[in-house]
């Protein structure tokens, strides 16, 4: 396969979510930890939504290379969903009450699958995948912060981040092959922005409330996190949103695949020759 359409492999990171993982596993910070936990809460059902959205269009994809990529995309996203769902068991063992939140989010996903047009669900998936790949790049940029994470969760984040970068163009290319409308692509991004950030931030706030932190403590930790990362997160998300609006945009224009594969190799996971 060409570099623009990389081979997509399904890997097993062999993660052990045991009792040795502390509640605040990232630099001892509740805010930093629960920012990632908020994303973790939406990943399993969100990624199954992505799989269904792409699968609904697979019959219209004629390019054999893209069809092969779609197969790898299904495998990677399915594995991500299972690993993050296993992580839920750790959160519950640590005393967090997440079932009510998960029921509400799953109801939202069921509603979306039933009532939203297939082409819009695919456009939402392409937009969300653009964000998850951007988060992946940020994970590599903030290596100093992630070095302070528990090793198991650090491996989970870096494995997931690398594979999101590896398959970042699949949903986009399926959308372009089946519904090449700039307006639809932008509408999908707008909805994905509201859904992804809305639900993940709601999860973060829920977990912080259960920790009993005051608003002042949360604000102080948030300022510390922004200072430690030099504000890269908000800047990168804003830049990613604006880049996606360009009519000539394609995910491959962000050349981060070599960095992703280097991290996969460092994690001891198989990479293509």
What average pLDDT does the segment 21-48 reach? Answer: 97
What is d(CA 141, CA 55) in angstroms, rounded to the nearest whole number?
A: 32
Closest by CA position to 128, among listed 212, 73, 46 = 46
pLDDT at 273 over 50: no
Per-residue CA distances from 30 to 23, 92, 141, 154 (Å): 8, 16, 21, 16
Look at residue 1 in the predicted model and tell me its pLDDT: 40
pLDDT at 60 over 90: yes
pLDDT band at 3 (very low <50, low <70, confident <90, very high): very low
Question: Over the stretch 152-191, which tens digit does the pLDDT of each residue have?
Answer: 999 999 999 999 999 999 999 999 999 999 999 999 999 9
Look at residue 4 in the predicted model and tell me its pLDDT: 59
Question: Over the stretch 9-18, which tens digit does the pLDDT of each residue have?
Answer: 999 999 999 9
What average pLDDT does the segment 23-29 reach? Answer: 95
Tokens read off for 88: 């839920």
pLDDT at 202 over 60: yes
Q: CB neighbours of 159 closer than 8 A, spacing ≥ 6?
A: 11, 13, 264, 267, 269
Look at residue 135 in the predicted model and tell me its pLDDT: 95
């Amino acid at each position: 396969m060409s570099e623009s359409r990389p081979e997509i492999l399904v890997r097993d990171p062999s993660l052990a979510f045991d009792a040795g993982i502390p509640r605040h596993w990232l630099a001892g910070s509740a805010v930093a930890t629960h920012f990632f936990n908020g994303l973790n809460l939406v990943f399993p059902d969100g990624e199954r939504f992505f799989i269904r959205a792409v699968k609904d269009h697979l019959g219209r994809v004629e390019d054999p290379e893209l069809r092969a990529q779609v197969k790898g995309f299904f495998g990677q996203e399915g594995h991500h969903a299972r690993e993050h769902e296993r992580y839920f068991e750790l959160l519950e063992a640590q005393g967090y009450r997440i079932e009510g939140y998960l029921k509400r989010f799953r109801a939202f996903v069921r509603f979306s699958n039933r009532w939203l047009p297939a082409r819009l669900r695919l456009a939402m998936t392409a937009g969300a995948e653009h964000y998850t790949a951007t988060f992946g790049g940020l994970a590599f940029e903030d290596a100093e912060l992630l070095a302070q994470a528990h090793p198991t969760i650090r491996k989970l984040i870096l494995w997931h981040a690398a594979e999101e970068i590896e398959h970042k163009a699949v949903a986009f290319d399926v959308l372009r092959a089946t519904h090449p409308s700039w307006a639809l692509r932008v509408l999908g991004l707008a909805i994905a922005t509201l859904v992804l950030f809305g639900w993940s931030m709601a999860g973060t706030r829920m977990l912080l409330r259960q920790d009993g932190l005051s608003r002042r403590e949360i604000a102080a930790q948030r300022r510390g996190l922004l200072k430690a990362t030099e504000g890269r997160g908000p800047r990168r998300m804003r830049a990613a949103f604006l880049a996606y609006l360009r009519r000539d945009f394609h995910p491959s224009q962000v050349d981060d695949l070599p960095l992703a594969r280097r991290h996969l190799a460092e994690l001891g996971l198989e990479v293509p020759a």
